[in-house]
Amino acid sequence: MTAVIIQSAVAVGLTLLILWLSHPLGLRLGVLDIPNKTRKFHARPTPKMGGTALAVAGLACVCLHFFDVGMPMPVKVGVMLVACHYIIGLVDDRSDIDARLRLVLSAVVTSAAFWLDPTLIPAGLNFSWDMSIGMVPAFAFAAGVLVLVSFVFAVNLIDGRNGILAGYAMLWLTLLQVTAESLPLNLYIVAMLCCGAFLVANLRGMVFAGDSGAYLVACTIGILGLHAHNDGAVSIDQLLLWFIVPVFDAGRVLAVRLRRGQSPFRGGRDHLHHVLWDHLPPRLAGALYASATLVPAVLSVFAPGLTLLWLIMAATWLLILSAKPVFFGKLRAV
């Protein structure tokens, strides 16, 4: 028990220290986000050190046990896969590498992880209405890699507004913990404390997650989600409901940009959070954005048999939010 307390205190303490020193560390590492007049409107250069703060905390939790022969192979593979995605994101934060190259790198390391840890590969799709669809191994391997890589990049797209990534990380961790006990309790508490500290710093404009933070969070949640589904604790439609905002937004942005003849890999201000915050007061935009996942996700925990209904309602709500944001501003004025 003493070792667990010390380990947890070290992890949280390192996160707080890196957040406190984020500006000089960001300057030294070359990961400052410089504002411009097109997409980045923050007031001052901001360090993209949120991912590093969370990564160091995770490293503190596992480094003492990483080479322990008693540690299950899936845990070691998961740690390495998350670390690889963090490094890919950090390199992008420093050098702004091409999105297509990041996709290839993510697919390569994910494929290697699936080969080393076959428990990540879904043997079939389990639905909340007591239906399962089996998959042949080769297709399951390819589908699993595609899903995890797509999820990582979808989460990276939603990280464009302070508080969103940390808020979703805490929500997803809690959902997975309640339904599947995905983490040992002490690690769950540490993860929540570290994400909470980053959330406060992020909301105050002190630090951004950066691609390193988005990749780290998304890969971690994606791996936990795959294991929870493969263990039968969570249905595939529940996971889709919990992750519907990044999945929906990625699909919507892809369709919009292709229709305009634009590259889907370029940056822009056409994400759902841009649509809402550009047309509505910040508090109303935040409440509507949060409602798109929070309400249906909680309903799916208490009434998992109705997950398909909650999924349809959530998708409909997202379509309304993305198409008619001005309506809510007029409604508020009345």
pLDDT band at 333 (very low <50, low <70, confident <90, very high): very low
Query: Is residue 70 pLDDT above 60, yes or no?
Result: no
More confident residue, 67 or 198: 198
Domain map (residue ranges) of the chain = 1-233, 235-334
Query: Is residue 295 pLDDT above 70, yes or no?
Result: yes
Q: What is the pLDDT of residue 14?
A: 87
- Determine the average pLDDT of the residues in 187-205: 90
Average pLDDT of the chain?
Answer: 84
- Determine the average pLDDT of the residues in 60-70: 57
Q: What is the pLDDT of residue 145?
A: 94
Lowest-confidence segment of 59-63, 225-229, 294-298 by average pLDDT: 59-63
More confident residue, 262 or 157: 157
Query: Is residue 33 pLDDT above 90, yes or no?
Result: no
Query: Is residue 64 pLDDT above 60, yes or no?
Result: no
Q: List, for residues 123-175, the tens digit of each pLDDT value.
A: 888 888 878 888 888 899 999 999 999 999 989 888 777 788 999 999 999 99
Q: 3-state SS string over the chain?
A: CHHHHHHHHHHHHHHHHHHHCHHHHHHHHCCEECCCCCCCCCCCCEECCHHHHHHHHHHHHHCCCCCCCCCCHHHHHHHHHHHHHHHHHHHHHHHCCCHHHHHHHHHHHHHHHHHHCHHHCCCEEEECCCEEEECCHHHHHHHHHHHHHHHHHHHHHHCCCCCHHHHHHHHHHHHHHHHHCCCCHHHHHHHHHHHHHHHHHHHCCCCCCHHHHHHHHHHHHHHHHHHHHHCCCCCHHHHHHHCHHHHHHHHHHHHHHHHCCCCCCCCCCCCHHHHHHHHCCHHHHHHHHHHHHHHHHHHHHHCHHHHHHHHHHHHHHHHHHHHCHHHHHHHHHC
Q: What is the pTM of this model?
A: 0.89
- Determine the average pLDDT of the residues in 187-209: 90
Q: What is the pLDDT of residue 334?
A: 41
Lowest-confidence segment of 23-27, 78-82, 142-146, 282-286 by average pLDDT: 282-286
Query: Is residue 268 pLDDT above 90, yes or no?
Result: no
